[in-house]
Amino acid sequence: MPRFDERLADAVRRKGNPVCLGIDPRWDSLPKAIRDRHDPDALDGVAHAFEVFGLRVLELIGERVPVVKPQAAFFEACGPEGFHAMRALLRRCREMNILTILDAKRGDIASTAAAYADAAFRVWGADSVTVNPYLGEDAVEPFIAAARECDGGLFVLVRTSNPGGGLFQNLDCGGIPLYRRVAGAVAGWNAGGNVGAVVGATHPRELVELRAAMPDVWFLIPGYGAQGGTAADLKLGFRAVGLWAVVNSSRALPCPFAPDDADWEAKVVRAADAMIAALKE
Amino acid sequence: MPRFDERLADAVRRKGNPVCLGIDPRWDSLPKAIRDRHDPDALDGVAHAFEVFGLRVLELIGERVPVVKPQAAFFEACGPEGFHAMRALLRRCREMNILTILDAKRGDIASTAAAYADAAFRVWGADSVTVNPYLGEDAVEPFIAAARECDGGLFVLVRTSNPGGGLFQNLDCGGIPLYRRVAGAVAGWNAGGNVGAVVGATHPRELVELRAAMPDVWFLIPGYGAQGGTAADLKLGFRAVGLWAVVNSSRALPCPFAPDDADWEAKVVRAADAMIAALKE
């Protein structure tokens, strides 16, 4: 199998767009048609509704997107049954030949990081996983080693899209902010082509700066749509048109409907049309 | 119910020691007597062995320790069944009136952090959870809010015990290292008495410095025993004898035996005797 950066480039070229479909299911955002068939007071009912919704969204637009990113937190909040649902969605993506990013933001000392990597790649069957850099290189290394074995990858948090993300990330560390120090490390860790960077779309100037600091690193850019990033902002993160960055939408793309919209499925398809078109311009 | 810092102080006073029993189960470290009854090639077999081992350790020494800390990664690596086992251990601790720290090192943007907090406190039933600060205050706040509702707590990573923990944590941020910036934030976040700090025992000088920077904050001190921290080092983290810090051991305490030791249970009891005595001196 080709290495992870080549697998990403191939997927983006094949689909002709860099869209990452975020699956962050929340009960209150699900279509009423699905909620009505599940019990909100039972964790397994909610988990099953998440799975039904996710599988249906994959049927509707999965063939058109290169990457899918489930958010582990929402599945974990459904208990063990939530992880069954998460694994089912990741498996369906693999059957559909869609690359996956398990958004779990894990990070721990080496022996523990190895267990998280094992969970992400082998137990859940994701192609890649998001990783927090606060514990340093020896805590990231087990993810790189595990990724190498399965031609998978990881995306290290560099600059996050949340409003308060700068509290520590922007601290001046000898003339450059902390996030630039992390970016420098990520550029080095990516020697084998399997380490990407999470760079929020809500900070366009930083996208330019970080693209320069990590010229050969794939970016995962969250924050498109609901969090305020625009298509014009995002393009600053690409290295060539539509390449070396995937752009995630977890709200505007899979949940562009009001819960009681009868035509929610058509709206999901139109949202995919719109996002793909905006990123192609 | 009293607030979290008071619950911790009460637990430590009641048991007369500040020992935190870490439960980081690994198949290869389990007693042969337990391994022989489970299938290592089935995730649910491994998960069940972890649960049997953890419950037996709780029977052996649970009455003597104030705090238990399961490491989520090792349970996650067993798939959904691993989370059943983790929840069973947390429930047993609650029945035994032992406080729990779910070591998950979670951290994400606010709406996602709220889902992780919901999972930790409500779904798994932990009293507290470890949290990574890299995303800043708005990412920590949902954990504080959720902790407040259940008189639970969180422990924010400040200075970790791994050899490479200093790569970013030690960076000079305007005259003081990053970990001191995080410590300053943690001291502020602890206004309600429910935010602690993870401070590695492998850096004794920093324990003194961080105790001064966070006088009213409970420390969770990992790295005792296997990672190199000694009892004398640790005492630098306490505010008064045995108070305002809990000291974790995940290897020397629950796994002081060779897997085929027939008397592994007696060795666990003796390891508890030794650790409690060392921290009382």
Is residue A170 within 8 angstroms of chain B, CB to CB? Answer: no
φ, ψ for residue A233, nearest 5 deg? -55, -45
- For residues B24-45, average pLDDT: 96
Nearest Cα residue in chain A from B222 = A109
Q: What percent of chain B stands above pLDDT 90?
A: 87
Contacts of A221 (CB under 8 A, 6+ apart): A198, A199, A200, A201, A207, A229, A234, A237, A245, A246, A247, A248
How high is the pLDDT of residue A261?
96
Chain B residues in contact with A181 by the CB 8 A cut-off are 168, 171
Contact B164, A138 (CB under 8 A): yes
Contact B109 A167 (CB under 8 A): no
Highest mean pLDDT among A15-19, B221-225, B227-231: A15-19
pLDDT of residue B179: 97
Question: pLDDT at position A281, please?
Answer: 65
Q: Give, rounded to a whole angstrom, the gap between the first and last alpha carbons of chain B.
A: 32
- CA–CA distance from A137 to each of A109, A131, B132, B243 (Å)? 10, 11, 16, 33
Separation in Å, CA of B163 to nearest CA in chain A: 7
Give the chain B residue nearest A44 (alpha carbons): B123
Q: Which tokens go with B126? A: 């932990």
In this structure, the number of other CB atoms found within 10 A of the CB of residue A95 comes to: 9
A171 contacts on B by Cβ (under 8 Å): 173-174, 178, 181
pLDDT at position B234 is 79
Residues of chain B with C-beta less than 8 angstroms from the C-beta of A132: 105, 107, 132, 134
CB B23 within 8 A of CB B49: no
What pLDDT does residue A241 have?
63
Among chain A residues, CA nearest to B119? A77
- Largest Cα–Cα separation, chain B: 57
Q: Scan residues 193-252 of B and list those with Cβ closer than 8 Å to A.
A: none
Strands A99-106 and A67-70: parallel
A105 is catalytic: yes
- pLDDT tens track of chain A, all 281 residues? 899 999 999 999 999 999 999 999 999 999 999 999 999 999 999 999 999 999 999 999 999 999 999 999 999 999 999 999 999 999 999 999 999 999 999 999 999 999 999 999 999 999 999 999 999 999 999 999 999 999 999 999 999 989 999 999 999 999 999 999 999 999 999 999 999 999 987 777 888 899 999 999 999 999 777 666 677 777 777 877 668 999 999 998 999 999 999 999 999 999 999 999 998 86
Comparing CA positions, the residue from B3, B8, B7, B48 lying closest to residue B27 is: B48
User: In angstroms, what is the C-alpha Rg of chain B?
Assistant: 18
Number of H helices and E strands in chain B, helices first, is 12, 10
- Model confidence at B281, in pLDDT bands (50, 70, 90)? low
8 Å CB contact between B93 and B86: no
Catalytic residue chosen out of the listed positions A15, A32, A69, A105: A105
Nearest CB to B168; choose among A109, A113, A133: A133
Q: What domains are defined for chain B?
A: 4-280 (3.20.20.70)
Residue A109 touches chain B, beta carbons under 8 Å? yes
C-alpha dist (Å) from residue A21 to A111, A218, B201: 31, 16, 42
> pLDDT tier at B235 (50, 70, 90 boundaries)?
confident
Rounded to the nearest angstrom, the minimum Cα separation between A110 and chain B is 8
CA distance A54 to B231: 51
Partners of A129 in beta bridges: A102, A154
Q: Which residues of B are catalytic?
A: 105
Give B2→chain A minimum CA distance, Å. Answer: 26
Between CA A9 and CA A194 the distance in angstroms is 12
The pLDDT value given to residue B225:
72
Taking contacts as CB-CB distances below 8 angstroms, the residues of chain B near A47 are none
Does A157 sit within 8 Å of B135, measured CB to CB?
yes
pLDDT at position B233, please? Answer: 77
Q: State the pLDDT at residue B226.
A: 64
Residue A125, judged by CB atoms within 10 A of its CB (0-12, 13-18, 19+), counts as middle
Pairing of strands B128-131, B99-106: parallel
* Mean pLDDT, all residues of chain B: 94
Chain A interface disruption, residue of B118, B161, B167, most A CBs within 10 A: B167
- CA B88, CA B52: separation in Å to the nearest integer? 10
CA distance A99 to A36: 31
- Cross-chain residue pair B164–A137, CB shorter than 8 Å: yes
Q: What is the mean pLDDT of residues B100-127?
A: 98
**Contact state of B113 with A167 under an 8 Å Cβ cutoff:** no
Establish whether this prediction's ipTM goes over 0.95.
yes
Quick one: pLDDT at residue B224? 79
Cα of B273 to nearest chain A Cα, Å: 27
Name the DSSP letter for residue B164.
T
B161 at the A interface (CB within 8 A)?
Answer: yes
Q: Give CA separation, B276 vs A263, A268, B64, in Å.
A: 64, 59, 9
CB pairs < 8 Å spanning A and B: 176
**Is the pLDDT reported for residue B89 higher than 90?**
yes
Given this model, what pLDDT does residue B205 score? 84
Name which of A219, A1, A238, A228 is nearest A121 in CA terms. A1
Distance from CA of A243 to the nearest CA of B (A): 26
- A134 and B116 within 8 Å at the Cβ level: the answer is no
- Whether the Cβ atoms of residue B95 and residue B121 lie closer than 8 Å to each other: no
Contact B76 A119 (CB under 8 A): yes
